């Protein structure tokens, strides 16, 4: 079958197509319907069917490959390296499920994870899936204010955390950040479960905080069966940055997600049971959910969980893991490849990489020089892919498991099964069909299995944010500009909203602006994403000080810049900290008072700022330029 026919069937005959894909997973009860789109945009997949993500990831493999590796946990930060077979993983997940139940967790309850890249985090995610609890993983680098907002929104019964994480040999104590977040949040968890790695001292709150090792010891003999869940039940929520400070909790189902991952592992990643998959991401991001934890395990593959940098202890560490564990498929972000590109090529050449069949890259636009370098260095297909936290799995890529197609440098590829991707005019909603026409990338409903169900506890925000932003059209807005070439390949050209992409991490500029604005000497602020050769984009802040005298000289500017960076660090975490803070006396605005962020961004990147007829005071852009030169 050609890929064109495969894709056509997926969107024109969705019931027949996805019924076939549903056979890739185990069901306790077969679905009563396949695609229910009777209440758009709230598409329901496989309603009436009952299944369980943990069963499909772990239990069903016990008979055929119980003693084969399932989870390989590697930390170059602590020197710990341990492999768990499917049988051992099954036992650890049951211990963890029993621990959560002992702390009061029941089906439908939320469990929030604030964890480093350790095996206990994976045990907890799978344990939640096993008992029907809803997990919400928050990236371990987030500061207390950001963490508090997620605790408040998720309302977890239990929070699972650790004493500390480590990056580049620098220990980051999690417990003080967590304690402060709980203090700031109006919602208080019933219990906190803590894994002690011996990296940082912890003060425990009596009656609330529980030790992982001690509680595990008490439940070594407890068996916990999988709870069979309706396919449309919620599996997890994960927070994604938006254009406001309030985080959006992306809500995902059970059955549709399991089917989508199983299908993607076969058709896109060409996974083979018994082989090894290495996704060098983080469980705090959706890539980690889908392709560190659930996807590879559903496919019966071993999955590597890696804590550390790609250049520590040396720039050959990833390649040594590929050689040692005979990695078949690798998945990372372009930023990591750009970092490795700067290292001695000898690190790459000294390892046997013959097991590697493909390298997948996602999270940010892949530039052609980076793609060409790693392609020549590895000698395997380099497959870009484009997707979002909201989609749960790739929207655009190449499905070589269906039909071999050439990748095009600069393009993530073509639409995957179930995705009806269009390019629309931003203002009129008109479809742009000619090759090379720039417009907004949208997806027509019904969205495929695995796609977000809604925004957690906020259906109205889901509809208004994603489905009603294009005039006259009810389509899902990706908020990305794009073009399509004559062969049907798509190219992503950047965001249409105020979200920036720093080394694969999405950050809302408004959230950063709100943090900076809380400084006593900040009158106004604009934050924009600026192109960066290494990270893709970095945040740049332009500030109008309340007290102009405080930034009249270089020493004053540096002092206030330092204070602002420290403030953002403490409220949002190091990821959100601007690369630089520049000081101006006025910001470019329209006559109606709207900040001209795109014009500021253009000036920062040395591009034409475009039509400036609406600008209130052209001297403001000159100040932006002067501040950069200065």
* Full-model pTM: 0.85
CB 280 within 8 A of CB 39: no
Residue 142 pLDDT greater than 70, yes or no:
yes
pLDDT above 70 as % of the chain: 96
Domains of the chain and CATH, by start: 82-222 (3.40.50.980), 440-495 (no CATH), 499-629 (3.30.300.30)
- Residues 56-73 have a mean pLDDT of 98
pLDDT tens-place string over residues 229-263: 999 999 999 998 655 557 899 999 999 999 999 99
Give 392's contacts (C-beta < 8 A, 6+ positions apart). 252, 257, 260, 286, 289, 290, 450, 451, 452
**Which residue did the predictor score with more confidence, 596 or 227?**
227
Q: How many CB atoms lie within 10 A of CB 196?
A: 17
**Which residue did the predictor score with more confidence, 518 or 243?**
518
Residue 44 pLDDT greater than 80, yes or no:
yes
Weakest-pLDDT range from 69-83, 241-255, 396-410: 241-255
Q: How far is CA 77 from CA 276, 318, 520, 548, in A?
A: 22, 14, 38, 45
pLDDT tens-place string over residues 171-207: 999 999 999 999 999 999 999 999 999 999 999 999 9
User: Coil, strand or helix: which one is 626?
Assistant: helix
Tokens, residue 222: 């407890």
pLDDT tens-place string over residues 276-303: 999 999 999 999 999 999 999 999 999 9
pLDDT tens-place string over residues 409-456: 889 999 999 999 999 998 899 999 999 998 999 999 999 999 999 999
The pLDDT score that the predictor gives to residue 591 is 55
User: Coil, strand or helix: which one is 396?
Assistant: strand
Weakest-pLDDT range from 122-136, 296-310, 475-489, 610-624: 610-624
Torsion angle of the four alpha carbons 101, 105, 110, 113, in this order, in degrees rounded to the nearest 10? -40
């Amino acid at each position: 079958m050609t890929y064109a026919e495969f894709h056509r069937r997926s969107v024109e005959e969705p019931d027949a197509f996805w019924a076939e894909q549903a056979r890739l997973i185990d069901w306790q009860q077969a679905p009563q319907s396949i695609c229910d789109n009777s209440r758009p945009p709230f598409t329901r997949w496989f309603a009436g069917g009952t299944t369980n993500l943990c069963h499909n990831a772990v239990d069903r493999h016990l008979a055929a490959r119980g003693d084969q590796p399932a989870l390989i946990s590697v930390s170059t930060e602590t020197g710990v390296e341990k492999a768990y077979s499917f049988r051992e993983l099954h036992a650890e997940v049951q211990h963890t499920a029993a621990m959560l139940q002992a702390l009061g967790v029941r089906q439908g309850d939320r469990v929030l994870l604030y964890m480093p890249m350790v095996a206990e985090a994976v045990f907890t995610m799978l344990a939640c899936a096993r008992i029907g609890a809803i997990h919400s993983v928050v990236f371990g680098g987030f500061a207390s204010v950001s963490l508090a907002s997620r605790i408040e929104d998720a309302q977890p019964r239990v929070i699972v955390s650790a004493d500390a994480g480590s990056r580049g040999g620098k220990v980051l104590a999690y417990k003080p950040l967590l304690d402060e977040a709980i203090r700031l949040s109006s919602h208080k968890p019933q219990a906190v479960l803590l894994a002690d790695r011996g990296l940082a001292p912890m003060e425990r709150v009596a009656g609330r905080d529980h030790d992982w090792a001690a509680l595990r010891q008490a439940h070594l003999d407890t068996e916990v069966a999988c709870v069979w869940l309706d396919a449309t039940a919620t599996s997890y929520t994960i927070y994604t940055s938006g254009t406001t400070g309030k985080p959006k909790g992306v809500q995902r189902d059970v059955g549709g997600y399991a089917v989508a991952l199983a299908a993607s592992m076969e058709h896109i990643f060409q996974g083979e049971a018994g082989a090894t998959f290495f996704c060098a991401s983080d469980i705090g991001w959706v890539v980690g959910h889908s392709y560190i934890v659930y996807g590879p395990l559903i496919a019966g593959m071993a999955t590597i969980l890696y804590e550390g940098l790609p250049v520590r202890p040396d720039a050959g560490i990833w390649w040594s893991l590929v050689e040692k564990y005979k990695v078949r498929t690798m998945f990372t972000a372009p930023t990591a490849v750009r970092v490795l590109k700067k290292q001695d090529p000898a690190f790459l050449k000294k390892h046997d990489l013959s097991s590697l069949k493909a390298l997948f890259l996602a999270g940010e636009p892949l530039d052609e020089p980076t793609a060409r370098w790693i392609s020549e260095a590895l000698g395997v297909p380099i497959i870009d892919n484009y997707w979002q936290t909201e989609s749960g799995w790739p929207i655009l890529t190449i499905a070589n498991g269906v039909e071999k197609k050439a990748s095009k440098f600069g393009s993530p590829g073509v639409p995957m099964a179930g995705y009806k991707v269009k390019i629309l005019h931003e203002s009129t909603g008109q479809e742009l069909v000619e090759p090379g026409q720039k417009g907004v990338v949208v997806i027509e409903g019904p969205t495929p299995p695995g796609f977000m169900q809604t925004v957690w506890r906020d259906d109205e925000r889901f509809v208004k944010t994603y489905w009603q932003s294009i005039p006259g059209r009810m389509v899902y807005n990706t908020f990305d500009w794009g073009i399509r070439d004559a062969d049907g390949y798509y190219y992503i050209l950047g965001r249409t909203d105020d979200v920036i992409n720093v080394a694969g991490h999405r950050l809302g500029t408004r959230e950063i602006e709100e943090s900076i604005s809380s400084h006593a000497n900040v009158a106004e602020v604009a934050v924009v994403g600026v192109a960066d050769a290494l990270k893709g984009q970095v945040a740049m802040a332009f500030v109008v000080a309340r007290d102009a005298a405080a930034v009249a000289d270089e020493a004053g500017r540096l002092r206030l810049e330092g204070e602002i960076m420290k403030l953002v660090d403490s409220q949002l975490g190091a990821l959100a900290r601007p690369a630089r803070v520049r000081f101006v006396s006025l910001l470019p605005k329209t006559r109606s008072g709207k900040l001209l962020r795109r014009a500021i961004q253009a000036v920062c990147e040395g591009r034409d700022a475009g039509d400036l007829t609406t600008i209130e005071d052209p001297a403001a852009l000159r100040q932006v330029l002067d501040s950069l030169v200065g």
